Amino acid sequence: MVTSAELLAAAAFADGSHPQAFPSFGSERSGAPVVAYCRIDDEPIRSHEPIAEPDIVVVQDPTLLHQVAVFDGLRPGGTVLVNTGKTAAELGIAELPGLPRVVTVPASQIAREHIGRPMPGPALLGAFAAVTGAIALPALEAALRERFPGDLGDANAAAARAAHDREVARAAPA
Amino acid sequence: MTDPTRIRYAQVGTRAVGNRLLDPAERALQSDPRRANAITSGHRACRGCGEALAARSVVDAAMAAAGGRVVAANATGCLEVFSTPYPESSWQLPWIHSVFANAPSVAAGMAAGLRARGRDDIRVLGQGGDGGTVDIGFACLSGMFERNDDVLFVCYDNGGYMNTGVQRSGATPPGAATTTTPAVPGRPGADLGQGKSAPLIAMAHEIPYVATATIADLHDLEAKVRRAMAIRGARYLHVLSTCPLGWGSDSALSIELARLAVETGLFPVFEARDGEVVGVTPIRRRRPVEDYLRPQRRFAHLFEPEPQRDVLDALQRRADRTIARFGLDRHA
Amino acid sequence: MLRLLEGSMAVAETVGRCRPDVIAAYPISPQTHIVEALSRAVRAGELGDCELLNVESEFAAMSACIGAAAVGARPYTATASQGLLYMSEALFNAAGLGLPIVMTVANRAIGAPINIWNDHSDALSQRDSGWIQLFAESNQEAADLHVQAYRLAETLSLPVMVCMDGFVLTHAHEPVELPDPDAVDAFLPRVAPAQVLDPDAPQTIGAMVGPEAFTEVRYLMHHKQMAALDAIPHIAGEFAAAFGRDSGGLVRGHRLEGAETVVVAMGSVIGAIEEVVDELRDGGVPVGALALRCFRPTPTAELREALAPARRVVVVEKAMSPGTGGIVGADVRRALDGCDTRVHDVIAGLGGRPITKASLRTLLARAREDRLGSLSFLDLDRDLVAAELARAGTPTAPGGHAAQALAAAGLWEEDA
């Protein structure tokens, strides 16, 4: 999750935006819930406080949905992206307070297809690009190729593109 | 013809530092007026101070071995205090005193800095008393050993925190009275079973060179410094240094007491390389521990008002064990 | 060229460009990424003849730096919190001996209770050590300050601490422009040390000094710190000329013109404070902010000049002195001695508690309504405190001697 926020920042940076990414912190320990933050702005960002009122929440691990207050502070009309093969209704998040837009993305599955491992980050970011427009897909692909070496970089970029294109197709008028 | 009854024969002991009877090649460096004299006279050490004698020998020998290119880091303690009474200093070489516990680390930084600047022709010496080395400086010492930093560290062991008034250290010998291990009925000074052997611990780090020495044999001490200076990496020298004040002994007996510590087996003299003992100095003439203990008031309670046989026996057994362990009995 | 970098990496790379000779590395959260990055760089041969010492404690780290500086080598180390405390004896020693050393402190709270998150208690606990203490507002400034710090340390022969908020800055990825290596070389020429262990010219360093001269030696140290008040802006100016950026210096004002209320703070929280100030100014509210960039020495004259025109100053500080209150606030009060300006200490952000813009807005509103006492704690959970006091058997409402005395002195505040 930390890497996803960094990647988002990297993509935004490649796009010419001013980003800031940072994790919430604890001792290094795998398996525990982790939150990471990313700000994207046209101007340099001065504040470093944790994001209390996000515009967008990306949930990489859906088992957290009913365990952690994932949507606290989400702005009315904000957007939620969840890594899942289920629907929002099946997850019980179809009608959240403030009625954010909920987008379900089978990111782990897309990752398995393109990368061979259920690492949903790049696919989620691809969907993020399509849904929010906050970053452009080419910038995201470039950031993924720069961050991950050789074939892995290409595979991650492919996963991102696949998720992105899937969202574009879903949003297209029938 | 000279009257034979008027011829006087003089004999020079094998440990004599040097006099006109001794072949110049056999004289110790301390007898050579061309020595560095790295701790010049005028310092404020007590009369009979073993540490002053040891440090002179060590530093001059190091300077000779390194062509005068030696820098020294010194822990807080007697040596540091008596050698640098503001605004004067005895030291004739570059010398730094930082704090009590960190002489090994300061020395490590000096060695690293010199190497980084392309000057590892300049050799680094670290110095401290037993308190600064075995107790408060122990972590820094062990770290320096573990990294194999290119430092020769010398501990002048007088068995206590002498500069601050004779308190016990982790090197205080069992049975010795100090101000924090006073002799009272049932507690004969420093507790039996306590006290660490810094040389053995140094050997456990498997550093290139570990040796013990005393002020009773300056030839041996100087030779060990020379051998140490020919090696790169972490080296440790532990020198028994009599403290007349702390030990309650006659200042004229400092060297003899160091010799007795060796000959009773209480202080083994040996050399080790990479964690293995490679040489020992055998005891020439074995002495019972009481010969060492009696001249020191810090052990007086073991004899007055009546002998504490159990403690004396324990100390004798300890000496016997040390002799057996290191193979010090030349007649064995 | 701007690069997106984690704060720790920006610092590590910049330190590398300063060509240290000896790096003493001991890990402690949240500084670990800095020493890890430098270890990799040394092993990869990227730092020339630099020697990396993996030391066994922070005390050893600072001691090794002392040794390195003493032989004329350029040292570096980094630490935080408990580690800074553990080297405290060596800190005072380094400053007392006048050795040029630069150290990064990734500001973190001091235990007990153990806490790995950001506040300023570590650096401020060593404020009397004789080290120069600089505070970075951003990762850009953190990187830049290290270059200035070496120049400052080697010019004055004093050790310099560059403080950056642990996790908040060290682990934040943001765009940074690293100083050009050639420009750094030109900015940091090798200078002959004021004192050095050199066999060709032996010196004794660290002799004992008795009552007859100790006061004078300490006075001269104070004098040297005061000289830093001139050196710091001078070097910041030279840095700006060489690298084109305003970093460092003593203080930095934001919208002080006609500000009735000024918020003073150090480190990254200034960013959020300025954003709140800008919002309020857009609404016509006369508020401003002052970043204290140099904590030691205290820029008394600059503080006075900036703050005296204001009606009130709100010092938002991430540390406190138990039994007394604010630390930075005390320095601010001293600077404003004789002025009518009221000073309010607000203890905030302890142990990593976020200082939110919402809280800052509320705080400023209370300040402007003159409802802020002399000392208050931002976002204090009064229910939690009351419950604990009740559990421990003491009265929950102020009534005891201590509380009455605090209230009488105007030091007890209900809410911030």
Residue C60 lies in a domain: yes
Determine the pLDDT at residue A30: 63
> Across the interface, do A18 and C175 touch by the CB < 8 Å criterion?
yes
pLDDT of residue A153: 93
If asked whether residues C183 and C294 sit together in one domain, one would say no
When the candidates are 3.40.640.10, 3.40.1640.10, 3.40.920.10, 1.10.260.40, the CATH number that belongs to A52-171 is 3.40.920.10
Mean pLDDT of the region B219-230: 98
In the block, residue with structure tokens 């402690």:
C28
Which among C51, C90, C212 has CB closest to B115? C51
Query: pLDDT at position A33, please?
Result: 75
- Which residues from B are below 8 Å from C90, CB to CB? 98-99, 102
Contact predicate C348/C355, CB 8 Å: yes
Gap between the terminal Cα atoms of chain B: 48
Residues facing B163 on adjacent strands? none
Quick one: C123 and C173 in the same domain?
yes
What subunits touch chain A, counting only 3 or more CB pairs under 8 A?
Answer: C
* Full DSSP string of B170-196: TTPPTT---SSS--BTTB-SSPTT---
Which CATH number fits the domain that encloses residue C354? 3.40.50.920
Residues 169-208 of C with CB under 8 A from A: 169, 171-175
Residues C149 and C233 in one domain: yes
Chain C contacts in chain B segment 18-77 (CB below 8 A): 68-71, 73-74
B69, B95, B143 member nearest C55 (Cβ): B143
B94 touches chain C (CB under 8 A): yes
- Does C54 share its domain with C186? yes
Q: Is A22 on the interface with C (CB under 8 A)?
A: yes
- Best C53, C66, C71, C195 member to test B by mutation, with max B CBs in 10 Å, is C71
- Residues near C81 by Cβ (< 8 Å), separated by ≥ 6? C28, C107, C108, C109, C110, C111, C116, C121, C122, C166
The 10s digit of each residue's pLDDT in A84-116 is 999 999 998 888 888 889 999 999 999 999 999
Q: Is it the case that residue B256 has pLDDT exceeding 80?
A: yes
Q: Which of A1, A49, A42, A46 is nearest to C139 (CA)?
A: A46
Per DSSP (E only), the strands in C94-145 are 102-107, 132-135
For B196, other C-beta atoms within 10 Å of its C-beta total: 14
Q: Do C72 and B113 touch (CB under 8 A)?
A: yes
The residue among C51, C65, C203 with the most chain B CBs within 10 A of its CB, best to mutate, is C51
For B210, the token pair is 């570990």
Task: Report the C-alpha gap between A126 and A130 in whole angstroms.
Answer: 7
Q: How far is C132 from C228, CA to CA, in rounded Å?
A: 8
Judge whether C311 lies within some domain. Answer: yes
Nearest residue to C270 via CA among C165, C127, C143, C369: C165
Q: What is the pLDDT of residues B2-59, one digit of tens each?
A: 677 777 776 777 778 888 888 888 899 999 999 999 999 999 999 999 999 999 999 9
- pLDDT at residue C116, rounded to an integer: 94
Q: Do both C134 and C258 map to the same domain?
A: no
pLDDT at B17: 87
* B114 at C interface, C-beta within 8 A: yes
Share of chain B above pLDDT 70, in %: 98
CB B188 within 8 A of CB B308: yes
The helix-helix angle for B218-229 and B50-65 (nearest 10°) equals: 40
- Are C175 and C191 contained in the same domain? yes
Q: Nearest CA to CA, how far is C81 from chain A (Å)? A: 15
Q: Are A22 and C354 inside 8 Å of each other by CB?
A: no
Q: Do residue C287 and residue C189 come from a single domain?
A: no
CB-CB contact of B216 with B15 (8 Å): yes
Write out the two tokens for C250: 């003593």
Could you tell me the residue range of the domain that residue C345 belongs to?
251-381
Chains B and A lie in contact, requiring 3 or more CB pairs less than 8 Å apart = no
Provide the token pair at C227: 């000289």
Q: Are residues C95 and C222 in the same domain?
A: yes
Averaged confidence pLDDT in chain B: 95
**Closest Cβ–Cβ partner in B69, B110, B119 for C68:** B110
pLDDT of A1 strictly over 80? no
- pLDDT beneath 50: ranges in chain C: 396, 416
Nearest CA in chain C to A37: C172
Q: Are both C296 and C233 inside the same structural domain? A: no
Strands B209-214 and B270-273: antiparallel
Residue in C116, C117, C173 nearest the CB of A20: C173
Interface contacts A/C by beta carbons within 8 Å: 68
Q: Inspect the interface and report whether the beta carbons of A20 and C274 lie closer than 8 Å.
A: no
Binning pLDDT at 50, 70 and 90, where does residue B246 land? Answer: very high
Tell me how far apart the terminal alpha carbons of chain C are, to the nearest angstrom: 43
Chain-chain contact of C206 with B97 (C-beta, under 8 angstroms): yes
Q: Please tell me which residue of chain C has the smallest CA distance to A17.
A: C175
State the CB neighbour count (10 A cutoff) for residue B200.
16
Overall domain count for chain C? 2
In sequence order, what are the residues at sequence separation of 6 or more whose Cβ sits closer than 8 angstroms to the Cβ of residue B24? B18
Is residue C215 domain-shared with residue C315, that is, in the same domain? no
> Does C360 reach chain A within 8 Å, measured CB to CB?
no
Extents of the domains making up chain A: 52-171
Per CB-CB distance under 8 Å, the chain C contacts of A20 are: 172-174
Q: What is the pLDDT of residues B80-111, one digit of tens each?
A: 999 998 899 999 999 999 999 999 999 999 99
Per the domain annotation, does C336 fall within a domain? yes
- Report yes or no: C199 at the B interface, CB cutoff 8 Å: yes
Q: Are both C182 and C258 inside the same structural domain?
A: no
pLDDT value of position B313: 97
> Chain B, 115-154: which have a CB under 8 Å from a chain C CB?
115-119, 122, 139-140, 142-143, 146-147, 149
Looking at the domain that runs over B32-326, which CATH code has it been given? 3.40.50.970
The pLDDT of residue A7 is above 50 = yes
Q: State which residue of chain C sits closest to A40, comparing Cα positions.
A: C174
Across B289-301, average pLDDT: 98
Domain ranges of chain B: 32-326
Alpha-carbon distance of C230 to C130, in angstroms, equals: 17
Let me know how many helices (H) and strands (E) chain A has, helices first. Answer: 6, 5
What confidence tens digit (pLDDT) does each residue in A129-139 have? 999 999 999 99
Residues from chain B that touch C60, judged by Cβ atoms under 8 A, are 102, 105, 108, 139-140, 143
* B96 close to C (CB below 8 A): yes
Indicate the average pLDDT of chain A: 90
- The DSSP bridge pattern shows strands B70-74 and B123-129 to be parallel
- Tell me the CATH number at C6: 3.40.50.970
Collect all residues of chain C within an 8 Å Cβ-Cβ radius of residue A22: 167-168, 171-173
